[in-house]
Amino acid sequence: MSEARTGKRFPLELPIKIQGLDQGSVTGNMSAAGVYIRGNPALEIGSNVEFEIALPAELTGGGNEHVVVQCKGRVVRKDAGSGESHGVACVIDSYDFVRQR
């Protein structure tokens, strides 16, 4: 199996809000081009997804401000996990940064 990743992945576990889904998911890792979402997201391969990730100030150097990254992307892989928990890999097609206090 060839490796499709093109950028450096960072092992960050941050809360993620997925539009239209009410559940507690977290990131497993992130890069500039994609994110792996752990939890129980009801997302299927090929589906479009919009989500927000809050980056803490200590990661961004923003003083007292954290940065919310609003993303649009697509699900490209779905992994079965143990029990009801699993993960999905998403390609990020576009994103915007929003500073919040």
Task: State residue 4's pLDDT score.
Answer: 57
- Full-model pTM: 0.81
**Nearest alpha carbon to residue 91 among 78, 77, 73, 79:** 73
Task: State residue 101's pLDDT score.
Answer: 60
**Nearest alpha carbon to residue 38 among 86, 90, 73, 81:** 86
CA 51 – CA 72 distance, rounded (Å): 7
pLDDT digits (tens, 9 = 90+) for 8-36: 888 999 999 999 886 789 999 999 899 99
Task: State residue 92's pLDDT score.
Answer: 96
The rounded percent of the chain whose pLDDT value lies above 70 is 84
The answer to whether 23 and 38 have CB atoms below 8 angstroms apart is: no
Residues 6+ apart with CB under 8 A from 82: none
